Amino acid sequence: MLTQTPTSDPVASPFLTDDHLEIRQMVRDFALSEVAPLAAELDEKKRFPSETIPKLAELGLLGVPWPEEFGGAGLDYRAYTIVVEELSRVCGTTGITVAAHTSLGTGPIMNFGTEEQRRRWVPSLAQGEHLGAFALTEPGAGSDAKMTRVTAIQDGDEFVVNGTKIYCTNGTHANSIVFTARTGGEVGDTSQISAFVVEKGTPGLDYGVLEDKLGLRGSDTRELVFKDCRIPLANKLGEEGQGFKAFMKTLEAGRISIGAMALGLAQGALDCALPYVKERKQFGKRLLDMQPVAHQLADVAMEVQAARNLVYESAWRKDQGLDFALTGSFGKLYASEVAMRAAHVGIQVMGGAGYTREYPVERILRDAKLCEIGEGTSEIQRMIIARNLDRHGTRP
């Protein structure tokens, strides 16, 4: 059986420094030696990567973009993007676990919390002692997040929370979960949506069953049920009524990591298919020497590199303090669709072998589909891009 190994280093990116390349090599080595051997089992058994998380924490990879004073590695968003890409290249479950913890579970506290809240929660999250999670989606509020129905009503020095969130990544493994709830007003009024943190073990917080998903099956995806769950006033993030805006900003940054995850999956599909078609012979010659196969892989390689440029430009813009909302949507949308095409082509050129679980490319196809849905579907990304065209035209 051929193993899934990097075909070669990608074309050098103008957005990465020598330090970034060193980080990439370190993460790549770890991913190949520690993560890849577990990937199939995590998928098959729907098992959370519990043994991998402490090792990632030891390497400082669970707090890459957060300041050292808060327990983080003090690196930039490009370094974090590298981490997600390289982990996802061999295991989508591990990639999304780290992405959800970092950009979604820790990001809102770091970016919108008070100094006291940052000191309280970020160090343990950044150092990997605890995992974080993010809960926005509800049964009646998916892409239309303003339809939040979970309520948080103040009662003395506490908020009483009631309602249900769904599709919470890291679910029961998270020690702290950031979520949105209505503090008043009518459903649909975003000015009455606030952000909160709830800690694991809080009375009134219950977990639903583990979702049985198409892909990313080792990722813990849970329903959260709040039943008269009381949390202190100090657990409200930012100003009351600013939660919707805070979460939309969080998703903008999160789209970079989903783009990185999709990019890693796409590269992983290429990593799997190319060695196979170089060795497999039919009609007396290698599959790679057959024009239909060669052209499909050439297109995938080109699209993967184009996706890489978009994703890393977005991360670079964020690091420079520039607006990255549009490029983030470009990268997330394009990379996720490239990941699906790369996996499809990988299976097609490998034929029957690609369709079996002997090779990871079928798992990549299942994992990649989430990238077209999570943190803003492809349809939502096109709406964002079209609105930008309406306002600013086509010139950069």
What's the angle, vertex CA 76, arms to CA 260 and CA 320, rounded to 5? 95
CA distance 225 to 153: 16
The active-site residue, picked from 337, 372, 375, 379, is 375
Question: Are 157 and 233 a contacting pair, CB within 8 Å?
Answer: yes
Contact 127, 70 (CB under 8 A): no
Asked if 368 and 92 count as a contact pair (C-beta separation under 8 A), the reply is: yes
User: What are 358's two structure tokens?
Assistant: 């002997």
What does the H/E/C string look like for 252-270?
A: HHHHHHHHHHHHHHHHHHH
Residue 119 CA to residue 303 CA, distance in Å, equals 42
Contact 13, 312 (CB under 8 A): yes
Q: How many residues does the structure list for the chain?
A: 396
Active site residue 375: yes
Q: Which two tokens stand for residue 178?
A: 């950031």
Active-site positions read: 375
